[in-house]
């Protein structure tokens, strides 16, 4: 059964919009609007598939990129070893004193409440779960503020920045500001990241180098075409690049 598209059609990530389909309908007279729309959509889908195939074949023929060899991959690894670490893993709890960033009065009150709670915790760290249950605006309050295990990219940037500076058993020395308020953070356990062996990341590095090489070659190819073309009414960056003169 034929269905009328509602939001447009996706062909390998390229959207054919309803506006394009509506404009195409005039070239496909039929006994009903439904049939005309179907025929217009089919024509645009076929055209898009052909265009993509022609472009892919052209680029494959015109742009030649050498494969990344093992020596290049190893050199990239040695020069960028810091990229190939697993994320530290933390078992964390927090107490949240909520306050929106645009409300100065609420921020000041939240900071004061967090500071007072920290003073109590410095004297009695064992009160953390109790204070979390009574004070925290986070849903984790019922669990004594426990958030479970956290790794890189799972929390707000400001929270993560403070957390990654903390050690096992530590409670944050000052309230940690974020876009939702102020946090008191407690780290129950920390497992530091480890260096990934070259053998584990070779395929990823090869793909990364291949993509970078292809992007450079594609940019140069476009510059070459621009240098050979006569374009009026628009300046395409790179047309006067020394590469194409």
pLDDT 10s digits, 35-80: 999 999 999 999 999 999 999 999 989 998 888 999 999 999 999 9
Distance CA 101, CA 99 (A): 6
Give the SS3 label for residue 182: strand
Give the SS3 label for residue 195: strand
Distance CA 68, CA 208 (A): 9
Of 59-63, 113-117, 172-176, the one with minimum mean pLDDT is 59-63
pLDDT band at 22 (very low <50, low <70, confident <90, very high): very high
pLDDT band at 241 (very low <50, low <70, confident <90, very high): very low
Q: Are residues 151 and 185 in the same domain?
A: yes
State yes or no: pLDDT of 1 exceeds 70. no
Q: Are residues 95 and 169 in the same domain?
A: yes
Burial code (b: 16+ CB inside 10 Å, e: under 16) for 47-67 equals ebeeeeeeeeeeeeeeeeeee
Q: Are residues 123 and 207 in the same domain?
A: no
Q: Are residues 165 and 206 in the same domain?
A: no
Burial class from Cβ neighbours inside 10 Å (0-12, 13-18, 19+) for residue 114 reads buried
Q: Are residues 126 and 178 in the same domain?
A: yes
Q: Are residues 95 and 185 in the same domain?
A: yes
Q: Are residues 32 and 90 in the same domain?
A: no
Q: Are residues 163 and 216 in the same domain?
A: no
Q: Which of 140, 130, 154, 162 is nearest to 96 (CA)?
A: 140
Q: Are residues 18 and 106 in the same domain?
A: no
Residue 22 lies in a domain: yes
Which range marks the domain in which residue 27 is found?
A: 9-62
Q: How many domains does the chain have?
A: 3
pLDDT at residue number 228: 85
Q: Are residues 187 and 99 in the same domain?
A: yes
Q: pLDDT above 70 covers what percent of the chain?
A: 93
Residue 4 lies in a domain: no
pLDDT band at 168 (very low <50, low <70, confident <90, very high): very high
Q: Whole-model pTM?
A: 0.55
pLDDT at residue number 230: 84
Residue 1 lies in a domain: no
Question: Are 28 and 187 a contacting pair, CB within 8 Å?
Answer: no
């Amino acid at each position: 059964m034929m269905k009328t598209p509602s939001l447009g059609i996706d062909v390998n990530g390229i959207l054919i919009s309803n506006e394009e389909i509506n404009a195409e309908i005039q070239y496909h007279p039929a006994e009903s609007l439904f049939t005309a729309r179907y025929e217009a959509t089919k024509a645009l889908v076929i055209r898009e598939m052909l265009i993509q195939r022609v472009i892919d074949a052209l680029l494959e023929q015109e742009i030649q990129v050498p494969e990344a060899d093992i020596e290049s991959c190893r050199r990239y690894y040695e020069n960028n070893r810091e990229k190939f670490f697993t994320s530290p893993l933390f078992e964390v709890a927090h107490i949240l004193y909520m306050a929106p960033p645009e409300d100065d009065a609420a921020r000041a009150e939240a900071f004061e409440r967090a500071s007072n709670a920290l003073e109590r915790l410095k004297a009695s760290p064992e009160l953390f779960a109790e204070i979390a249950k009574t004070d925290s605006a986070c849903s984790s309050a019922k669990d004594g503020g426990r958030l479970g295990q956290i790794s890189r990219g799972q929390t707000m940037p400001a929270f993560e920045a403070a957390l990654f500076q903390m050690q096992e058993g530590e409670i944050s020395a000052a309230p940690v500001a974020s876009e939702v308020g102020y946090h008191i953070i407690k780290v129950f356990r920390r497992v530091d990241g480890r260096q990934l062996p070259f053998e584990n990341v070779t395929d990823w590095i090869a793909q990364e180098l291949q993509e970078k090489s292809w992007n450079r070659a594609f940019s140069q190819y476009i510059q070459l075409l621009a240098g050979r073309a006569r374009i009026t009414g628009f300046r395409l960056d790179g047309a006067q690049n020394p590469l194409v003169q």
